[in-house]
């Protein structure tokens, strides 16, 4: 084989490598590739368990990816992902088999925030078949901002029962957050703002 042929073959091989390497790399993308082996094994086991139980797996994988992106340690990621899995399982047990994925995700977030399961059941029963995703999101938000769990649970339940819409609840979350940033006590901020939610609710029903 002449040097010219060798050169041509070499160039062809390089060209082929250049074209196929990125494709191969793309096929092999593993969202958990950056996790250490032990933590990755835990996360994969939890994903398998979620699959087996009919729970959504996306929140579990997503939490692991989030931990990796935020440079959290592998064992911590595994622990947090396990909490998500257990919360999803509890949310499903609480909200029932017919809870959709968003409700399960929001319910799991509320449970992780420390909202008692009974509060989720009350919201479900008060919703008359409506999706309780937004009330659950707002509930978890209020508690994460420092509103006592019982106060937050009662207020949201009362508003939900009184016919408050999703936009009302999202607006409530926003204004309470602003009040707290301005120095108001979290519980006072919620109760004060809850009274201003435009629903036809007897005053006595708003928790004092």
Q: How far is CA 62 from the centre of its chain?
A: 9
Q: Whole-number minimum distance, CB 125 to another protein, in Å?
A: 21
134 is an interface residue for another protein by CB under 8 A: yes
**Identity of the residue, 16 or 100, whose beta carbon is nearer to another protein in the bound complex:** 100
Least Cβ distance, residue 21 to another protein (angstroms) = 20
Which of 44, 49, 89, 113 forms a contact with another protein (CB under 8 A)? Answer: 113
> Which ranges in 73-114 belong to alpha helices (H)?
74-95, 101-112
CB 116, min distance to another protein, A: 16
Kindly state the number of chain residues that form the binding site for another protein, as judged by CB under 8 A.
37
Residue 144 as a binder of another protein (CB under 8 A): the answer is: yes
| The binder of another protein chosen from 126, 161, 170, 206 (CB under 8 A) | 170
Distances (CA, A) of 174 to 14, 15, 101, 145, 189: 57, 55, 24, 11, 11
Residue 101: alpha-carbon gap to chain centroid:
10
* Binding map of another protein across residues 45-74, x = CB under 8 A, - = no contact: -------------xx--xx-xxxxxx-x--
Q: In angstroms, rounded to a whole number, what is the distance separating the alpha carbons of residues 99 and 97?
A: 6
When binding is defined by CB under 8 A, the residue of 109, 132, 164, 197 that contacts another protein is 109
Token pair of 98 as six digits = 């017919």
Other beta carbons less than 10 A from residue 206's beta carbon: 17
Instruction: Judge contact between 47 and 61, C-beta under 8 A.
Output: yes
Q: Which of 106, 119, 123, 155 binds another protein (CB under 8 A)?
A: 106
How many other CB atoms are there within 10 angstroms of residue 40's CB atom?
A: 18
Residue 56 sits at the vertex; the CA angle it makes with 94 and 147, to the nearest 5 degrees, is 50
Residue 137 engages another protein in binding (rule: CB under 8 A): yes
Least distance between another protein and beta carbon 110 (Å): 9
Report the residue from 44, 80, 161, 206 that binds another protein according to the rule CB under 8 A: 80
Residues in Cβ contact with 197 at an 8 Å cutoff, skipping those fewer than 6 apart: 159, 164, 168, 171, 172
Residues that bind another protein (CB under 8 A): 31, 58-59, 62-63, 65-70, 72, 76-77, 80, 83-84, 101-102, 105-106, 109, 112-113, 133-134, 137-138, 140-141, 144-145, 166, 170, 173-174, 177
């Amino acid at each position: 084989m002449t040097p010219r042929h060798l050169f041509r073959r070499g160039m062809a091989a390089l060209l082929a490598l250049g074209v196929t390497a990125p494709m191969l790399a793309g096929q092999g993308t593993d969202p958990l590739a950056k996790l250490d082996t032990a933590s990755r094994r835990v996360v994969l086991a939890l994903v398998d368990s979620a699959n087996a139980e009919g729970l959504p797996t996306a929140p579990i994988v997503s939490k692991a990816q989030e931990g990796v992106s935020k440079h959290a340690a592998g064992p911590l990621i595994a622990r947090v992902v396990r909490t998500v899995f257990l919360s999803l399982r509890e949310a499903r047990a609480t909200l029932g088999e017919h809870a959709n994925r968003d409700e399960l995700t929001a319910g799991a977030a509320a449970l992780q925030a420390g909202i008692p399961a009974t509060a989720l059941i009350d919201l479900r029963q008060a919703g008359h078949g409506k999706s309780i995703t937004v009330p659950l999101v707002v509930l978890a938000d209020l508690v994460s901002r420092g509103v006592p769990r019982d106060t937050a649970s009662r207020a949201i339940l009362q508003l939900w029962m009184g016919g408050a819409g999703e936009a009302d609840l999202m607006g409530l979350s926003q204004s309470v957050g602003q009040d707290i940033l301005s120095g108001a006590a979290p519980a006072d901020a919620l109760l004060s703002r809850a009274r201003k939610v435009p629903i036809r609710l007897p005053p006595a029903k708003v928790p004092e």
